[in-house]
C-alpha cells in the first residue's frame, strides 16, 4: 500500500512491484482509490456487522439426518418437534418439513438447536434446507398466507 499524500491510497497486489514512477503510474490508473471510494470500501468491509436482521420471519425447513442407515427419520423428526414446542415459537409440521415463525434470531436459534438435538441422538451429519420469508410492509403469518389463497378459491367457486 502506498500513500500518495493527496488523500488517496494506491493498493498494490503482492505480485506488482512499484519499483519506479512509470510502474507506479500504470498501476495507479487501475488501483487508485479516491477518498470517497476508500470510505465506500471501508463501509462494505466493516459495515455489515451493524446491519440488523429483520424483526420477524417465517422459515420452512427440512432437516435431514445423513448416514443413519435407516430410511425412517420419524425419531429425529419427533426430537426436533419437542425442541420446537419447548421454544414457544409458532410452528406447523407438514409431510416434508416444518414451518416456524418468530423473530429472526429466535427462529435461527431453534433451527440450530434442532441440529444439536439430532447430533446428540447419535447422528453425525445433518443437513437442512430452508426457505426464509420476511416482510416489512405488514405483519403476515404463514397461516394468513394460506387463508388468503383459500379465500380466493372459495370466492372463485361461488361465482
> Does pLDDT of 41 surpass 90?
no
Do 15 and 86 belong together in one domain?
Answer: no
CATH number for 105: 3.30.70.930
Quote the domain boundaries for residue 141: 56-156
Do 14 and 39 belong together in one domain?
Answer: yes
The whole-number pLDDT of residue 159 equals 87
Secondary structure tally for the chain: helices H, strands E = 5, 7
> Does pLDDT of 20 surpass 70?
no
> What mean pLDDT value characterizes the chain?
83
Q: Is 60 in contact with 130 (CB distance < 8 Å)? A: yes
Q: What's the mean pLDDT in 7-29?
A: 48
CA angle (87 as vertex; 81, 92 as ends), nearest 5 = 45
Report residue 14 as a C-alpha cell. 503482492
Total number of domains constituting the chain: 2
Q: Is 97 in contact with 128 (CB distance < 8 Å)? A: no
The whole-number pLDDT of residue 108 equals 98
Cα separation of 69 and 71, whole Å?
7
Amino acid at each position: 500500500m502506498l500513500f500518495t499524500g493527496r488523500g488517496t491510497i494506491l493498493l498494490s497486489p503482492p505480485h506488482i512491484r512499484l519499483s519506479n514512477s512509470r510502474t507506479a503510474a500504470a498501476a495507479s490508473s487501475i488501483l487508485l482509490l479516491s477518498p470517497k471510494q476508500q470510505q465506500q470500501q471501508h463501509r462494505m468491509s466493516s459495515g455489515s456487522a451493524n446491519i440488523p436482521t429483520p424483526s420477524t420471519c417465517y422459515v420452512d425447513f427440512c432437516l435431514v439426518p445423513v448416514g443413519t442407515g435407516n430410511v425412517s427419520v420419524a425419531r429425529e423428526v419427533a426430537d426436533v418437534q419437542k425442541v420446537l414446542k419447548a421454544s414457544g415459537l409458532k410452528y406447523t409440521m407438514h409431510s416434508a418439513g416444518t414451518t416456524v415463525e418468530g423473530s429472526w434470531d429466535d427462529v435461527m436459534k431453534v433451527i440450530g438447536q434442532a441440529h444439536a438435538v439430532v447430533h446428540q441422538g447419535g447422528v453425525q451429519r445433518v443437513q437442512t434446507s430452508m426457505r426464509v420469508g420476511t416482510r416489512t410492509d405488514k405483519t403476515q403469518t404463514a397461516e394468513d398466507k394460506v387463508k388468503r389463497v383459500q379465500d380466493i378459491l372459495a370466492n372463485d367457486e361461488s361465482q
